[in-house]
Amino acid sequence: MTQLLSEEHQALAESVRDFAEQVIAPVAAKHDEEHSFPYEVIAQAGQMGLFGLPFPEEYGGEGGDYLAFCLALEEVAKVDQSVAITLEAGVGLGAMPIYRYGTEEQKQKWLPGLLSGKNLAGFGLTESDAGSDASGTRTTAQLENGEWVIDGTKEFITNSGTDITSLVTVTAVTGQSEAADGSVKKEISTIIVPSGTPGFSVGAGYDKVGWNASDTHPLSFTNCRVPEENLLGVRGRGYANFLGVLDEGRIAISALATGAAQGCVDKAVEYAKERKTFGSAISSYQGISFKIARMQARAHNARLAYYHAAELMAAGKPFKTEASIAKMIASEAAMDNARDATQVFGGYGFINEYTVARHYRDSKILEIGEGTTEVQLMLIARSLGLQ
What CA–CA distance (Å, rounded) separates 203 from 197? 14
The Cα–Cα gap between 327 and 366 comes to: 8
**For 305, which DSSP code?**
H
DSSP letter assigned to residue 134 = G
Contacts of 210 (CB under 8 A, 6+ apart): 81, 358, 361, 362, 363, 364, 365
Contact call for residues 366 and 331 (beta carbons, < 8 A): yes
At residue 195, φ and ψ (nearest 5 deg) are -60, 145
Residue 127 falls in the annotated catalytic set: no
Active-site pick, 74, 248, 322, 370? 370
Give yes or no for a contact between 329 and 350, defined as CB atoms under 8 angstroms apart: no
Cβ contact 128:155 at 8 Å: yes
SS3 of residue 135 by DSSP: helix
Question: 189 Cβ partners below 8 Å, 6+ apart?
Answer: 141, 171, 172, 174, 231, 232, 233, 235, 236, 237, 238
From the list 76, 89, 82, 99, the residue with the least C-alpha distance to 19 is: 76
Task: For Cα atoms 124, 128, 134, give the angle at the middle one, nearest 5 degrees.
Answer: 65
Active site residues: 370
